[in-house]
Amino acid sequence: MKDLRTIVLAAGKGTRMKSDIPKVLHTVCGKPIMRYVLDIAKALGSLKTYVVLGHKSNVVKKVLGDSIIAVEQSKMLGTADAVKCTENYFRNYQGDVLIMCADTPLLDKATVKRVVQKRKKTKTACTFLTAVVHNPKGYGRIIRGNGGGVVAIREDKDAVGFERDIAEINVGVYCCQSKELFKALKEIKMNKKKKEFYLTDIIEFFFENGLKVTTVETEDPSEVLGINTREDLAMAEAISRQKILKDFMLQGVTIVDPNTTYIDANAKIGYDTVIHPCTFIEADVCIDSNCQIGPFARIRSGVRIDNKVEIGNFTEVSRAKVGSGTFMKHFSYVGDSSVGADVNIGAGMVTANFDGQKKHPTKIADGAFIGSGAILVAPAKIGKKAVIGAGSVVPKGKIIPDGSVAVGIPAQIISKKEHK
Ligand code: UD1
Ligand code: MG
C-alpha cells in the first residue's frame, strides 16, 4: 500500500516467559514469534517497517533483516512510550501507521488488511482489531457507549465490576492516521498502577476529543492469542500446526495422523505425497509430489526432495538434496549430501559428515546401491550405479567410480563392471 508504514512493538522483556531468550525470538512452528507480524507488514506492502527494541536488542536485531528499521526504547515505559520512540521518523509523514504487537503470531494477514482498509474507508483517527473470546482475562476490554461506539479500552489490571465480564477484547492491532496518533501520544498520562504509558489510552483520548474511532472484529478468535507465557506458546504452536496441516490437506497432501505430525511454517509439499505418523518436517523444506515420508522420519531445514522418494522409519535427512525415485526406508542418516535419482540407501546407512570440527559433503550419484549398515565418511563420492557392500566403511576422501563395486573396512574396489 502506497501510504502505509508499520510499527512493531517488541521491546518488552517478556517477564512471564521466564527465559533468557527474548520473548519475540521464541518460535512457533519453527518461525520466531516476531517474524509473523513482520511478514504480514511485508505482505500488505508496508513501505517502511520499524521495530521497537529494548530488552536484548542486539540479539533481536540479528534476525530482523536489512529492510527493517530498528528503534531503541531505552526504558520499558509501556506501549505508548514504545510508539513514541519512533516519532522522529514520522515528522513529515501524512499517511497511515499500522501498529502491531510482536507477540501475536496467529494473526491472519486478511484480518489485518481489513483493519487498514476500514480506517481508510471510514476516515477515522484510528481503526483497531477486536475479538470476542471465552476467556478475556489478561486482555484490554472494549468499553462501548450507549450508541455502540467505542469509548475506551480498559486494561485487565484496571478493569472493575462489569468491565471484567466484557468478552470483547483488544487484539493489539491498530491503524492510525499518523498526525492524530502522535498528537494523542503527547497527552497520554502514566498509568499509576503499572507505572507505564498505555497505547490503549489513545482510544479514550480520541473519543473525548470528538475524533472518530472504528473497530474490526475478527472472524476467528483463535488468531488473537498474545504470547505471554509458555502455556500461551504451546497453545499457539498447537493452533498454528493444525492450520498448517489443514492447508496441506487442502492442497492434496495426505496426513495420515494430524495428531502426531509436525510440519513447520514455510515448508512446501507436493500433492499425493503421504506423510505418515510421528514425522517432523522443519521450516524451509521442499518435498515434491508422490513421496512417502515416515513414519518416524525427521526432515531438517534446507532439505530438497524430488518426486517419488520414499523416506521411512527412523531416518533423518539434513541439509541434503534427494533425487527422484530414491529409497531410504529404514534407520538412515543423510547429512550435507547430494543424493541422485533412483538410489537405494540400505537400512542403517550413515553419512559420517562431521569430523569433530567441520562438516563435509557426500555425493551419491544416480542409481547407486548402498548396502545396509554402510558408513560413508565424508567427504565421499559414490559414482553412478556404484555398489557399496553391506557393512562397508568408505574412508574419508575416497572416490568410488561409476559402476564399480566396493566392499569391506576400509572399502576396496573389487569390480569395475557396471552393476545392473
Ligand atoms: C497489550 C495491550 C492489551 C491487549 C494485548 C493483546 C497495552 C497497554 N495493552 O497487553 O490491551 O489486549 O496487548 O495481546 O498495550 N512493549 C514494548 N515496550 C514496552 C512494553 C511493551 O515494546 O515498554 C511491547 C512488547 O514487547 C509486546 C507488546 O508491546 O510485544 C505488548 O506488550 P505486552 O506487555 O505483551 O502487553 P499485554 O499485557 O499483552
Ligand atoms: Mg502481550
CA distance 225 to 138: 11
The predicted model gives 5-24 an average pLDDT of 94
376, 397 in Cβ contact below 8 A? no
Nearest atom within ligand 1 for CA of residue 169: 12
Spell out the residues 6+ positions from residue 238 whose beta carbon is closer than 8 angstroms to its own.
Answer: none
Q: Find the 54 Cα to ligand 1 centroid distance in Å.
A: 13
Taken in order of first residue, the domains within the chain and their CATH numbers are: 4-224 (3.90.550.10), 230-416 (2.160.10.10)
The predicted model gives 201-207 an average pLDDT of 98
Q: Find the 2 Cα to ligand 1 centroid distance in Å.
A: 28
Lookup: cell for 250? 487442502
Range 131-156 burial, b when 16+ CB lie within 10 A, else e: bebeebeebbbbbeeeeeebbbbbbe
> With bands split at pLDDT 50, 70 and 90, how would you rate the model's confidence at 63?
confident
CA distance 140 to 171: 8
Which residue's alpha carbon is nearest to atom 37 within ligand 1? 139
Please determine, for residue 2, whether its predicted confidence score (pLDDT) is greater than 90: no
Ligand 1 site residues, Cβ closer than 6 angstroms? 9-12, 52, 54, 73, 76-79, 81-82, 101-104, 139-140, 153, 155, 169-172, 198-200, 226, 228
Which residue's alpha carbon is nearest to atom 3 within ligand 1? 140
9, 50, 111, 176: residue to mutate for ligand 1 pocket, most atoms within 8 A of CB: 9
Q: Find the 154 Cα to ligand 1 centroid distance in Å.
A: 13
> With bands split at pLDDT 50, 70 and 90, how would you rate the model's confidence at 418?
low
Chain centroid offset of residue 360 CA: 29
Nearest atom within ligand 1 for CA of residue 139: 12
Nearest atom within ligand 1 for CA of residue 225: 14
What are the respective helix, strand and coil percentages of the chain, to the nearest 5? 25, 30, 45
Total residues belonging to the chain: 420
Which of 26, 134, 330, 419 is catalytic? The answer is 330
Query: According to the model, what pLDDT value does residue 65 have?
Result: 84
Please name every residue paired with 298 in a beta bridge, in sequence order, or none if there are none: 280, 316
207, 151 in Cβ contact below 8 A? yes
pTM, two decimals, is 0.92
User: Cell 490437506, residue?
Assistant: 249
**Over 160-218, what HEC string results?**
CHHHHHCCEEEEEEEEEEHHHHHHHHHHCCCECCCCECCCCHHHHHHHHCCCCEEEEEC
Count the Cβ atoms, other than its own, within 10 Å of residue 67: 11
Backbone angles phi and psi of 24, in degrees to 5:
-70, -10
Nearest atom within ligand 1 for CA of residue 140: 11
Residue 330 annotated as catalytic: yes
315, 333 in Cβ contact below 8 A? yes
pLDDT in tens, 238-271: 999 999 999 999 999 999 999 999 999 999 999 9
CA distance 123 to 390: 73
Ligand nearest the Cα of residue 156 is 1
Please determine, for residue 169, whether its predicted confidence score (pLDDT) is greater than 60: yes
Q: Across the chain, what does the average pLDDT equal?
A: 96
The predicted model gives 213-223 an average pLDDT of 94
Nearest atom within ligand 1 for CA of residue 12: 26
79, 189, 217: residue to mutate for ligand 1 pocket, most atoms within 8 A of CB: 79
User: Cell 515420508, residue?
Assistant: 293
Question: Phi/psi zone of residue 77: left (φ > 0), alpha (ψ -120 to 50 degrees), beta?
Answer: alpha
Q: Find the 139 Cα to ligand 1 centroid distance in Å.
A: 9
> With bands split at pLDDT 50, 70 and 90, how would you rate the model's confidence at 350?
very high
Query: According to the model, what pLDDT value does residue 1 have?
Result: 65
Please determine, for residue 8, whether its predicted confidence score (pLDDT) is greater than 60: yes
Q: What is the DSSP letter of 354?
A: B
Query: According to the model, what pLDDT value does residue 341 have?
Result: 98
Which residue's alpha carbon is nearest to atom 12 within ligand 1? 139
The predicted model gives 116-138 an average pLDDT of 96
Q: Find the 206 Cα to ligand 2 centroid distance in Å.
A: 23
Q: Find the 226 Cα to ligand 1 centroid distance in Å.
A: 9
Please name every residue paired with 214 in a beta bridge, in sequence order, or none if there are none: 127
Long-range own/partner contacts, residues 287-292 (CB < 8 A, 24 or more apart): 288/324
